[in-house]
């Protein structure tokens, strides 16, 4: 699994002119699934995301996690994170999981994130054309990849 993590002061996702997910202070997660991903990768990623110290403490240092600040999550499926442009300028998405597997892993990830953190988890609509709006706080943007555990 590969995820872009953005610390946000607000974020929302719109489908067909309707806002279907919205958060205030928290993390916007753009999540992609690869064919070998299982519950093992989901568990690792949820633990990592819950404990990432990327929120400011009283001194302004990034020392607090989303759990510490009682933030929220907005999770968006984003298969394009596995794009390859090695052979020209049209991206190939062969490294991304097939839609059926990707949706299963995405749904499991969202459920596990909510039950593990006990924080609000909003989400986009898997496979839909979405408009995602966010106010990146910092800006703070990280890339996590379960294959390399970073």
Give the CA radius of gyration of the chain. 15
Told to judge if 14 belongs to the known catalytic residues of this protein, a careful annotator would answer no
Catalytic residue among 78, 117, 123, 146: 78
Told to judge if 108 belongs to the known catalytic residues of this protein, a careful annotator would answer no
**3-state SS assignment for residue 140:** strand
Catalytic residue among 55, 73, 79, 109: 79
Told to judge if 146 belongs to the known catalytic residues of this protein, a careful annotator would answer no
Residues 149 and 91: their CA atoms lie apart, in Å, by 25
Catalytic residue among 38, 39, 80, 131: 80
Residues 118 and 138: their CA atoms lie apart, in Å, by 25
Residues 131 and 3: their CA atoms lie apart, in Å, by 18
Could you list the active site residues? Answer: 78-80
């Amino acid at each position: 699994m590969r995820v872009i993590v953005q610390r946000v002061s607000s974020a929302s996702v719109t489908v067909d002119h309707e806002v279907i997910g919205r958060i205030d202070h928290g993390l916007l997660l753009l999540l992609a699934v690869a064919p070998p991903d299982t519950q093992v990768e989901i568990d690792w990623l949820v633990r990592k995301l819950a404990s990432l110290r990327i929120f400011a403490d009283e001194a302004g240092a990034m020392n607090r996690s989303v759990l510490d600040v009682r933030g929220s999550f907005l999770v968006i499926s984003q298969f394009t994170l596995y794009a390859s442009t090695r052979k020209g300028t049209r991206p190939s998405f062969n490294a991304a999981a097939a839609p059926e597997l990707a949706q299963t892993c995405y749904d499991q990830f969202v459920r596990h994130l909510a039950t593990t953190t006990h924080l609000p988890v909003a989400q986009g609509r898997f496979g839909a054309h979405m408009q995602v709006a966010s106010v990146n706080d910092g800006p703070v943007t990280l890339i996590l990849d379960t294959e390399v555990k970073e």
